[in-house]
A and B are shown apart, each in its own frame.
Chain A
């Protein structure tokens, strides 16, 4: 076999090898480009129907009540994470919930928080471990006030 031919074939092989990596990089690029729901890697994620939340600017709307946010107090790892109240929101483990919480003590759709005119209410949705308001178990729709503490699973959130 002539040596030149082998050299040409070898170069072809190397080109093929790099085309493979080109395809790999293209696949990576396509994935990096796609808009991904904000995920900083924390265990708590908030989603509102309108798109990614901006927990830092809660002052703009929601003028109706003094209550605007649910702020995580426990666990310490997620403390400070704020979830804007929506007039109808759910907390649970299922991806469809407004606030998705990764905690094995939380049911798929655990708790509902909603607005009735000027008051905000919290209601347990038949969860396994229940919802607690100020350490008392919630049995029906219950009004929440500023400073109240809502507990679902291991997560405690303060109404602010």
Chain B
């Protein structure tokens, strides 16, 4: 393999240098956090610090080298930020539960492998646009998989798991990526008709229903499925994804207005219909009405965050084991306890910077499909982290989704690394010398 000549352009060289520098720095942070957590817990330097550092170095440098070869012009911030979050998450998981940590390490390796494969397989954004309908169908199929008797498994009230043989995973995590590709492709392909108003619904102009129908169908099905699976967080996530991509793709604010009112109606409707939704809302408003049972988790999270204060108790010095789901949904509270306001704010900042980079990728992309895909993927990442951090800190009613890259969980980790790979691909396409230069043959147009 040779490095393409365009990889030596000043922009590519500078960006990859920045990326390497940030990865090395993230590595230093992860290494010191890991050591510190061990010092705090058992007053000794971890025995496996050298192999630990070598493995982390190997994984992230592999991603970096892949970028040098496969996406030399891509945004330099996405991979280091994801690596930092992944590392901080691992350190916390290792400090809480050694057994889960070993698995999380394996998932991280699979996640990076997924990153490399995605980057290697999809060399151009256009190749993704061609398979948008396949992705749409696959996304819906994945979503429904947990409802299939025999392989669907209900864990903690949510039927979002699938077990096939020894492998169990959450298909919804991958469905969200597939549906993001589908909706971006669909909106781009039908942009003109979707932004054209042909009939009016009260004061709001709406496009022709038959153009809107496939979108509404996909949207409705995913929402209904997730309500049946009792996966409220993902339902909210999908709703926002569809709305944002439609709004940005058509530049019509009426979608936001209509969508917002639909959301309001839907929220009230599900609230009055389902007990578990009512429970979530009342535990959000006042967890103290049932502090030992249903309000327990949220109250313990509040205590943990408060106990952390500004600087935190120090890694390994918090009180572990008091919050149910502390390795997954509630890991943000553990970080806030042990690293305090400053540490929690740093995690928040990492997400803000990732979202910023993602939207920057979208604004720099020239191809409308690439633009909308970047918007969709970034929205997924940003909204998902917002939903769960808001839930843990009681800004929003709690809906269980994972904190991207940080929470324990194989499906989530792999899906998010693939998400970053797709963003990196869009970014490289937008900046690269090959962008629109005819690497791809011109499509032959029927002569009129």
Contacts and interface: CB of A to CB of B under 8 A. Distances in A.
B29 A17 contact: yes
Interface stretch (B20-28, B229-237, B266-274, B387-395): B20-28
A20 to B, nearest CB: 5
Contact of B442 (A7, A14, A129): A129
Interface residues of A, number: 45
A140 to B, nearest CB: 18
Interface stretch (A65-73, A83-91, A98-106): A98-106
Contacts of A108: 437-438, 442
B444 A129 contact: yes
Contacts of A7: 311, 314
A43 B366 contact: yes
Contacts of A17: 29, 342-343, 346
Contact of A105 (B25, B28, B438, B443): B443
B438 A107 contact: yes
A16 B29 contact: yes
Contact of B32 (A6, A13, A41): A13
B338 to A, nearest CB: 9
B314 A24 contact: no
A154 B340 CA distance: 57
Interface stretch (B35-43, B49-57, B148-156, B173-181): B35-43
A24 B77 contact: yes
Interface string B359-399: 00001101110010000000000000000000000000000
Contacts, number: 123
Contact of B436 (A16, A41, A95): A95
Contact of B311 (A14, A93, A102, A135): A14
B349 interface: yes
B2 to A, nearest CB: 22
A95 B437 contact: yes
B254 to A, nearest CB: 18
Given A76-B192, A94-B436, A20 B311 contact: no
Given A100-B436, A105-B442, A13 B29 contact: yes
A127 B80 CA distance: 43
A43 B443 contact: no
A127 to B, nearest CB: 7
Contacts of A41: 363, 366, 371
Nearest to B19: A27
B433 A95 contact: yes
Contacts of A43: 366-368
A16 B27 CA distance: 11
Contacts of A128: 441-445
A156 B437 CA distance: 20
A135 B205 CA distance: 35
Nearest to B352: A21
B252 interface: no
A23 B441 CA distance: 41
Contacts of B81: 24
Contact of B314 (A6, A76, A93, A100): A6
Nearest to B350: A21
B299 interface: no
Nearest to A105: B445
Interface string A1-24: 100001101111110111111011
A93 B77 contact: no
Interface string A40-82: 0101010000000000000000000000000000011100000
B26 A21 contact: no
Given A24-B80, A108-B438, A128-B442, 14 more contacts: A1-B43, A10-B311, A14-B342, A20-B22, A20-B29, A27-B77, A28-B353, A43-B367, A43-B368, A95-B436, A105-B445, A107-B442, A127-B442, A128-B443
Interface of B: 18, 21-22, 25-26, 28-29, 32-33, 36, 39-40, 43, 76-77, 80-81, 84, 191-192, 311-312, 314-315, 317, 339-340, 342-343, 346, 349-350, 353, 356, 363-364, 366-368, 371, 433, 435-438, 440-445, 447-448
What are the nearest 3 A-B pairs in CB distance?
Answer: A108-B438, A128-B442, A129-B445
Interface of A: 1, 6-7, 9-14, 16-21, 23-24, 27-28, 39, 41, 43, 45, 75-77, 92-95, 100, 102, 104-108, 127-130, 135, 137, 153-154
11 contacts: A9-B36, A13-B29, A14-B342, A14-B346, A16-B25, A16-B32, A18-B346, A20-B84, A21-B346, A104-B440, A107-B438
